[in-house]
Amino acid sequence: MTDSFPGLRLVQGDTVQLVTDATSVTITGAITSKGVLLDGRGFVELTLPDADPQQRRDLERSQRYWYQLYRGGALIYSSPHLTLSETRRTGDGSLVVTGAP
């Protein structure tokens, strides 16, 4: 378990507990988390399975979030509090959430 920049390696889980200032949701499915460097700055990119379109709007309204990623019931990554940088959908409908400490 770590509470820092996850590095550039891809971390895969099956459940994420996502907490914002207004809500807390548990999402299950194929979930990935990885660190991304852009212009010398570190970001965390969380990719969630195709989900309710309302989730994206809820995240964009909150601006700050943190999450805990689990695999097989074991906590494998706990993010610091993050400021939302971007949300977008991929071609397969997955929601990608990018944030920075």
Look up the domain containing 73 and give its range: 11-90
1: in domain? no
Condensed to tens digits (0 to 9), the pLDDT of residues 30-68 reads 999 999 888 888 899 999 987 677 777 888 888 899 999
pTM comes to: 0.85
- In the chain, the number of structural domains is 1
Q: Would residue 3 count as lying in a domain? A: no
Residue 22: inside a domain:
yes
Is residue 100 included in any domain, yes or no? no
Token pair listed for 33: 């988390």
| High-pLDDT (> 70) share of the chain, % | 92
